[in-house]
Structure 1
Amino acid sequence: MKFKELEPGMVIHQGPVTMDKAEMLAFAQAYDPQWFHVDPERAKDSRWGGLIASGWMTCGVAMRMAVDGILHDSESFGSPGLERLRWMVPVRPGDQLSLEATVDSKRVSSSREDLGIIRWTWRLFNQDSAQVLEVEVTSLFELELPTSH
C-alpha cells in the first residue's frame, strides 16, 4: 500500500501464518537459545507446559506479514524504532497467527516534506483469538515532492 492509501483508523488484516516447530527451534538455536525455546523435553515439564516460540521470532513473523500485506509495494524505507512491545500469550508449534495492523496516525514531517510518518499498532492473534503480541511501530515513507510548474 502507498502512504497516501493509509489513513488513521484503518485496520489491515494479514495471515494466518502457521508456526512450524522446526523453524521455531532453528530460530531459537541461532538467536534466543533459552531452554524453553530449544529443549522440548525440559519445556514439557515447565510452567509453559511445552515448547514456546521466542518472542523475537514472533516479532519477525509480524514483520513478515506487514511486509507481505502492506509494505511490499510502498515507499516505506525504514523505521526509527518501536514502542510498547508486549508478548501476552506464548506462541506454540502449530499456532496460526494473524496480524491486525491499526493505523494510529499519519503525517508529513514538519522539517522534511519528502518524509511521511505512520504510527500504527500491530497485534498478533492466534487461532483461538488470543492476543499474543502488541507493538507500536513507526514507519517512514519516502514521498515525492510536488513539482512546480
Structure 2
Amino acid sequence: MRYFEDIAVGETARFGDYPVERDEVIAFAERFDPQPFHLSDEAAAQTHFGRLAASGWHTCAMTMAMLVGHLKADEQAGLGSPGIDALRWLVPVYPGDRLRCETEVIEARRSTSRPEMGIVKSRMTVFNQDDVAVMTFVSNGLIATRHP
C-alpha cells in the first residue's frame, strides 16, 4: 500500500489506454450533455468540430476510469478528492481516438486539521493517440498517512 509518506513531489506516472467509441460518445451526450455536436454527425459538421465530438465531461469521465484503474494497480491509500483546479479542454476528442494519461506530483502537504491524511496536487495531462494533449487539470487528492 502506498501512503502519503511514499509520494514525492516531482514523481511522474504514465498510464491508461482508453478507446473512444462512437456509441459511448452518443450515449453519454444523450444523458449528460445533449448538445447537437455530441449527438449528430450532421449537426457537428456545421460547427468548428467538423464531426461528432465527445463531450469534455465525457473526456473527464474516461480519464477518471483510467485514473482509478491506475490507483488500484498502484495500491494507493486514496481517500477521495476535494476537487480539481484549472480544467482545460485543449482540442476535441473524437470517436476512434485512444486516450492515455501522464501525471506529475506538484505539491504534497500533510493536513494540519486532519493528521490522518495528506493532500497531493498533481498535474494531469490527457493525450490522444497522436500524443496531442487534449485536456489538462490539477487534481487534489486526499491520501491516508501511514502514521497520523
TM-score, scaled to structure 1: 0.91
Deviates more, 1:70-79 or 1:40-49: 70-79
Q: Percent identity?
A: 37
1:18-57 equivalences under 5 Å are: 18-57=19-58
Q: CA deviation at 1:74?
A: 2.0
Deviates more, 1:32-41 or 1:68-77: 68-77
Q: Give the 4+ runs in structure 1 shifted more than 4 A.
A: none
Q: CA deviation at 1:113?
A: 1.6
The count of aligned residue pairs is: 146
Q: CA deviation at 1:71?
A: 4.7
Q: CA deviation at 1:7?
A: 1.5
Matched, 1:118 2:131: no
SS at match of 1:91: coil
What's the counterpart of residue 131 of structure 1? Answer: 133
**Structural RMSD (CA):** 1.5
SS at match of 1:65: helix
Deviates more, 1:71-80 or 1:95-104: 71-80
What's the counterpart of residue 95 of structure 1? Answer: 97
Matched, 1:85 2:95: no
Structure 2 residues not aligned, in runs of 5+: none
Structure 1 residues not aligned, in runs of 5+: none
- CA–CA separation in structure 1 for the residues paired with 2:20 and 2:60: 12
What's the counterpart of residue 2 of structure 1? Answer: 2
The code of the aligned residue for 2:108 comes to K
TM-score, scaled to structure 2: 0.91
